[in-house]
Chains A and B, each alone.
Chain A
Amino acid sequence: MQVVLRLIVAIIFGLNLGALSALWFGGLIDGGPKIGNAIDADGWRSDWSIGSENANPYVRARVARNGLMGLRKEEAVYFMNTEDQDGARLTEDCDYRVSGGAMPAAWWSITLYDVDNRLPMNEDAALSFDQTKAERLGTMDAEGWSFLISATAPDGADPAWVSSRAGGEFDVTLRLYQPSADLLDDPEAVLIPPKIERLSCRAGAA
């Protein structure tokens, strides 16, 4: 009788532990891993198996949770970053300058998302910065482009700015549409990743 009870307990706890660990590794529990980290270009992380039928079950689960209907790599690649150049977590309590140069793709954009994978709930109409805006604002010069991430708008009628207001601890996602073959072959060598420089923080923030 004791053996039967032990077996029942083992089955119940075993199935539950297995299920919970799968939910964590699949990114469905807070604190679990997000989209794949197989590629790391100075903190900008990606996984070329996104959208692919060959993706392992963990990548598939994380993509389903954090980036449903992501395109496969020949059409678009996605790099996510949660930290500034000094390795500190990105937060709306600090201001940042993001800068970079030409990207190995037909078109690119950088968008800010909150910890729930949503656009931050503000009405600043400054959700992303992209190649079109860089060219329009004339910041796409020989030295490259740059824009500000902050919770309040900088001066100017059409500033190079992405709002972090209501973003909490956020991440930024670099999308590269129709990436070059070189990038797909050797992403960590070919991508010159954008830099995220922390400028200042509100009192009490890191």
Chain B
Amino acid sequence: MRVILPIIVFVLCVVLGHSLVINGIPGFIMGKAHQTFEAQGVPQNQWVGSPRQTPQTQRIVRPSPDLAYAVCRFDTTASPVFISAPIWDGYGSLSIFNDQTDNVFVADLGPNSDFTGIEVRRPAENTAQNALTLDGRGVAVIRRLAPQRETYEAANALVAEAVCRPIE
């Protein structure tokens, strides 16, 4: 018993420590991403276009240099949020990620898209099930195919027409 009990406790602690850490990694890294965006001056509820992705401007891991990115960080705790972006003459998407890094929503922004926007609400406020459910913080990302400087500038100019605002 003097040996068996510590061995059992050791194994249980290995499992517990492993489980806590592996399940905590996505939330921890997403939290760091929010902090980084904040430190870089990305305000809440506002789209911000990223500079063209180069070795010198990259701020996230594995950026695609062929895409024009824009980011909006939001929080549904105080109020629902409405998110939209204009369509684009090429590949484009608007995606939303929750605090666990899950890609919970994607809209096509390509030329044939009829996307006009989406409401994001907390579970308790989405009783009609007509909005995306997301509790707390999230990040919306626009990707537009823009492999050349000219197309990148055109894509970046569209960021001003995108919407990411609380619903009063």
Contacts and interface: CB of A to CB of B under 8 A. Distances in A.
A61 to B, nearest CB: 4
B21 A60 contact: no
Interface in B45-72: 53-56, 58, 60-66
A203 B24 CA distance: 45
B152 to A, nearest CB: 12
> What DSSP secondary structure best describes chain B's contact surface?
mixed
B23 to A, nearest CB: 5
A75 B62 contact: no
B129 interface: no
A198 to B, nearest CB: 24
Contacts of B103: 51-52, 69-72, 75
A175 interface: yes
Contacts of A206: none
A51 B102 CA distance: 5
B61 A117 contact: yes
A63 interface: yes
A169 B165 CA distance: 43
Interface in A29-86: 51-53, 55, 57-58, 60-61, 63-72, 74-76
Contacts, number: 180
B50 to A, nearest CB: 12
A46 B23 CA distance: 21
Contact of B10 (A13, A68, A107, A117): A13
A14 B65 contact: no
B55 A57 contact: no
A75 B106 contact: yes
A53 B30 CA distance: 15
Contacts of B91: 106-107, 177-178
A52 B17 contact: no
Contact of A128 (B2, B11, B18, B64): B64
26 contacts: A6-B2, A9-B6, A13-B10, A14-B12, A22-B21, A22-B22, A26-B22, A57-B23, A64-B26, A65-B29, A66-B61, A66-B62, A68-B60, A75-B95, A111-B64, A111-B65, A116-B61, A119-B53, A119-B54, A123-B55, A127-B55, A128-B66, A130-B66, A132-B145, A132-B147, A132-B148
Interface of A: 2-3, 6-7, 9-11, 13-19, 21-23, 25-26, 28, 51-53, 55, 57-58, 60-61, 63-72, 74-76, 106-107, 109, 111, 113, 116-123, 125, 127-128, 130, 132-133, 166, 173, 175, 177-178
